Amino acid sequence: MLNPRLIAVFLALLVSSITSLFIWFTEQSILVVFVGFMASFFTTGLLTFMVLDYFIFEEVNKIYSTLQDLKMKGLSISKKKIDKIADPLKKINEELNVYASKKERQITDLKKSERFRREFLADVSHELKTPIFAAQGFVHTLIDGAVNDVNVRDKFLEKAAKSLDGLDELVRDLVALSQMESGEIRMNRTKVDLYKLVVEVVEQLEKKAINKNISITIFPKDAEPIFVYVDAFRMNQVMTNLIENGIKYGNEWGKVQILFEPDHKHWKIFIKDNGPGIPEEHLNRIFERFYRVEKSRSKDMGGTGLGLAIVKHILAGHKSKISVSSKVDKGTTFSFKLEKSFD
Ligand code: ADP
């Protein structure tokens, strides 16, 4: 690799050879040619080396030190490396360009997460406000006299309690989501029979399904264990959210099906309903926090708008990804893969 020393030797050799040639033409003496060669070799070499080293490489090193002082740690060249580089100015220029575009990307990401944070804060405040104001309204009406009418009292107390239950659910979901995002919650993975887990979830949701005359079926019907390596509590949350959504948003007299399909390393799980479906333009947004397809309808059904965001996070914690396909008026299918447990 070229460095100031090599360049100096090369130039010195060139200049002293030409000088020696000229001396040879005038003075045909080997001694004079030798002295001339040596004199021009050392002076040219020394001068070139000094000029290169002090005026260029030293200057570049100074620029580099300044960059280091500015804490530009992303630069991938070291002082030693600079000494060996043939064109250090070009190299530093290239490095600075790479560094600048890296920083630009970081700034864009920071701006994006700042906007996200602001929107999230606004959404949270809005979501909290609704049940608080409702409960507050009922309680104040009771205090202002409605408490004396037994019928109104019971109705208002029930409504206030329902709002506070919604608030409780929202805060729980928010805490779970923020803990998952900050990595505070670790997935406690063990060998779990997913079939059994789904049967338990379905039993818990049976009453809600019966209220809407919705049938829930698990395929295959034979209760063979389906062993996967998951956090049982979190997987219960995933299945509850997805099956409950199928019931909540499904049509009266509708169907919700849970299907298990194996491949050689995984189990693929499908949660399918024949409800109203989700229009295509909403499909890639439903996993965002507080995103609802039909805002007022979803809220009336008691959802926090965080269910699918939580599902997505839990599955990411299991190195899996949720997918959705849906056709308006035909139904919706959510699916994901889990690694089989072989031990
Ligand atoms: P929520 O807690 O409000 O139910 P989710 O995050 O679980 O929120 O779902 C986000 C939105 O996606 C819902 O508000 C609803 O509009 C839509 N959605 C979810 N699952 C279904 C489904 N099975 N069928 C139709 N729409 C659905």
User: What burial class does residue 284 get, using C-beta atoms within 10 Å of its C-beta: 0-12 exposed, 13-18 middle, 19+ buried?
Assistant: exposed
Find out whether the beta carbon of 40 lies less than 6 Å from any atom of ligand 1.
Answer: no
52 touches 7 (CB < 8 A): yes
Cα–ligand 1 centroid distance for 198 (angstroms): 20
Question: Side chain identity at 309, as an amino acid letter?
Answer: A
Instruction: For the chain, state the CA radius of gyration.
Output: 37
Cα–ligand 1 centroid distance for 325 (angstroms): 13
Find out whether the beta carbon of 242 lies less than 6 Å from any atom of ligand 1.
Answer: no
136 touches 129 (CB < 8 A): no
What's the pLDDT score for residue 342?
80
CB atoms within 10 A of CB 303: 22
Element (H, E) at 338: strand 331-339
Find out whether the beta carbon of 240 lies less than 6 Å from any atom of ligand 1.
Answer: no
For residue 114, how far is the Cα from the chain centroid? 14
Cα–ligand 1 centroid distance for 213 (angstroms): 19
Cα–ligand 1 centroid distance for 182 (angstroms): 24
Cα–ligand 1 centroid distance for 286 (angstroms): 7
Cα–ligand 1 centroid distance for 277 (angstroms): 10
29 backbone dihedrals φ, ψ, rounded to 5°: -115, 130
What's the pLDDT score for residue 218?
96
pLDDT tens, per residue, the chain with 343 residues: 567 788 889 999 999 999 999 999 888 788 899 999 999 999 999 999 888 877 777 777 778 777 777 766 666 666 666 666 666 677 777 888 888 899 999 999 999 999 988 998 999 999 999 999 999 999 999 999 988 988 899 999 999 999 999 999 999 999 988 888 887 778 899 999 999 999 999 999 999 999 999 999 999 987 789 999 999 999 999 999 999 999 999 999 999 999 999 999 999 999 999 999 999 999 999 999 999 998 766 666 768 899 999 999 999 999 999 999 999 999 999 999 999 988 7
Q: Which residue has its alpha carbon closest to ligand 1 atom 21?
A: 245
> Which of 292, 328, 329, 334 has most ligand 1 atoms within 8 Å of its beta carbon, as the pocket-test mutant?
292
Cα–ligand 1 centroid distance for 46 (angstroms): 78
What's the pLDDT score for residue 1?
58
> Which of 251, 271, 293, 334 has most ligand 1 atoms within 8 Å of its beta carbon, as the pocket-test mutant?
293
What's the pLDDT score for residue 242?
98
What's the pLDDT score for residue 202?
97
Find out whether the beta carbon of 298 lies less than 6 Å from any atom of ligand 1.
Answer: yes
Find out whether the beta carbon of 254 lies less than 6 Å from any atom of ligand 1.
Answer: no
Half-sphere exposure of 223 (CA within 13 A, CB side): 6
The span from the CA of 301 to the CA of 303, in Å, is 6
What's the pLDDT score for residue 52?
82
User: Distance between the two ends of the chain, CA-based, in angstroms?
Assistant: 56
Find out whether the beta carbon of 237 lies less than 6 Å from any atom of ligand 1.
Answer: no
Cα–ligand 1 centroid distance for 295 (angstroms): 10
Token output for 325: 């396909």
293 backbone dihedrals φ, ψ, rounded to 5°: -70, -55
Kindly give the pairing relationship between strand 215-219 and strand 331-339: unpaired
Cα–ligand 1 centroid distance for 259 (angstroms): 20
Find out whether the beta carbon of 331 lies less than 6 Å from any atom of ligand 1.
Answer: no
Contacts with 87 (C-beta within 8 Å, 6 or more apart), sequence order? none
